Amino acid sequence: MDTLVSVAPCENYEHDIVTHALEEVLKPLGGLSWVTPGMHVAVKVNLVRRLAPEKAATTHPALVCALCRMLIARGAEVTVGDSPGGIFVPAYLKSVYAGTGMLAVEQTGARLNYDVSQTTAHFPDAKYAKTFDYTGWLAGADAVISFAKLKTHGLMAMTGAVKNLFGIIPGTKKPEFHFLYPDTMQFAHMLVDLCQYIRPTLSIVDAVWGMEGNGPSSGDPRFIGCILASKNPYACDLAGGRIMGVTEAPVLRAAYERGLAPERAEDLTFAGDLARFCQTDFRLIPMRNVDLFLSKSGHLDRAFGYLIRRKPKLRPELCISCGICMRTCPAHAITLSPKPHFDRRTCICCFCCQEFCPESAIVVARSPFAKFLSR
């Protein structure tokens, strides 16, 4: 198990600053010495949806451009891409690239991905996702770099290098995965399966400006001031969780259970001063109760778990009745009348509605009973 995580300060997104920060964070990992001329490197960024870089919801284009220049200088052919939520077609991809500032990548000599083909993966070693369709542009890559953004997440507590690889699933098929794996830990293990299948050569996390509060797309930017990198994506996220103050993250628990990462950040090896960037008041999404009381045979456990389950909650004063939440819901548990109404009997609490609401009108809420227990 590789436990080395590199940390480097990065004060802002200016060209010289990000270039130096990337060089420094990669140096303890051997830099980019593994890149050879003619190698096809795919850089999988986080472009959850069309949001400007200053919203801190997407990997910042300045960092991506700097990495592309470094890879191209070593003779690599570089493609940058993602499959955001929504229809996976070239026109939509171009719109997202434009809105997130990612069109600047083309000025470096790298390509933006417009290949919307799909490839079927057969992964018998997976715990859950033994067969799945993923974006074809990654199939021909010699190496994949996961270039993530450090953010809170409604379902997984946090999103980083591992959750970033959920973007290999074509946009319109993502809700199906939420429906197939409604249990939080099943979903987390599925994400680990995807990561184990892709096996990124390198994972980098943009934590210059992260996102706190109602993440991963409607939270608030939070300055952190660093970049993380590791050859082990789970170790990278364990370090990211420590920065945010996350004590319970399903993906990190799944990785530990499968022997892919230590249980605690203290068991990692650091190049750089992680403690310098650890936040003490980072606003997190409440994760207490994540399936801790659920069992396959214990009805009382399931009933108790339901009582303290987190649920999506509407902030009606912000809602514009656009219907995106209804169209996004994989369980078809939302109707408009005229504002969204949640059918709690069919809602699987995947928080797709919260993630894709363009007005931040849906938040993750704890039940009154859960709040009482935490007193």
Please tell me whether residues 9 and 111 are part of one structural domain: yes
pLDDT digits (tens, 9 = 90+) for 208-224: 999 999 999 999 999 99
Please tell me whether residues 219 and 105 are part of one structural domain: yes
In a domain, 177, yes or no: yes
In a domain, 47, yes or no: yes
Please tell me whether residues 333 and 217 are part of one structural domain: no
In a domain, 303, yes or no: no
**Is 189 a residue whose pLDDT tops 70?**
yes
**Is 289 a residue whose pLDDT tops 70?**
no
In a domain, 224, yes or no: yes
Q: Which domain holds residue 341?
A: 310-373
- pLDDT bin (cut points 50, 70, 90) of residue 360 is confident
- pLDDT confidence of residue 153: 95
Interatomic CA distance for residues 219 and 74, integer angstroms: 37
| This prediction's pTM | 0.89
Please tell me whether residues 265 and 318 are part of one structural domain: no
In a domain, 283, yes or no: no
Interatomic CA distance for residues 225 and 169, integer angstroms: 30
CATH no. for residue 214? 3.40.50.11440
- pLDDT bin (cut points 50, 70, 90) of residue 179 is confident
| Structural domain count, the chain | 2
Please tell me whether residues 222 and 346 are part of one structural domain: no
Please tell me whether residues 269 and 320 are part of one structural domain: no
CATH no. for residue 320? 3.30.70.20
Locate tokens 């997190």: which residue?
284
In a domain, 344, yes or no: yes
pLDDT digits (tens, 9 = 90+) for 128-159: 999 999 999 999 999 999 999 999 999 999 99
Residue 108 structure tokens = 């470096």
Q: Which residue has the higher pLDDT, 244 or 177?
A: 244
Which residues fall within 8 angstroms of residue 151, CB to CB, at 6 or more apart?
56, 57, 158, 159, 160, 210, 211, 215, 216, 219
In a domain, 142, yes or no: yes
Local structure of 179: helix, strand or coil: helix
**Is 312 a residue whose pLDDT tops 80?**
yes
Please tell me whether residues 322 and 260 are part of one structural domain: no
Beta partners for 157?
153
**Is 236 a residue whose pLDDT tops 50?**
yes
Residue 256 structure tokens = 């530990």
- pLDDT confidence of residue 290: 43
Q: Tell me, what DSSP letter sits at residue 14?
A: -
Average pLDDT, the chain: 91
In a domain, 291, yes or no: no
Please tell me whether residues 165 and 271 are part of one structural domain: yes
Which residues fall within 8 angstroms of residue 204, CB to CB, at 6 or more apart?
22, 25, 63, 67, 145, 146, 147, 148, 161, 227, 228, 229, 236
pLDDT digits (tens, 9 = 90+) for 1-29: 899 999 999 999 999 999 999 999 999 99
Interatomic CA distance for residues 290 and 250, integer angstroms: 8
- The most confident of the ranges 162-176, 219-233, 281-295 is 219-233
Please tell me whether residues 272 and 330 are part of one structural domain: no
Residue 295 structure tokens = 């069992």
Please tell me whether residues 158 and 202 are part of one structural domain: yes
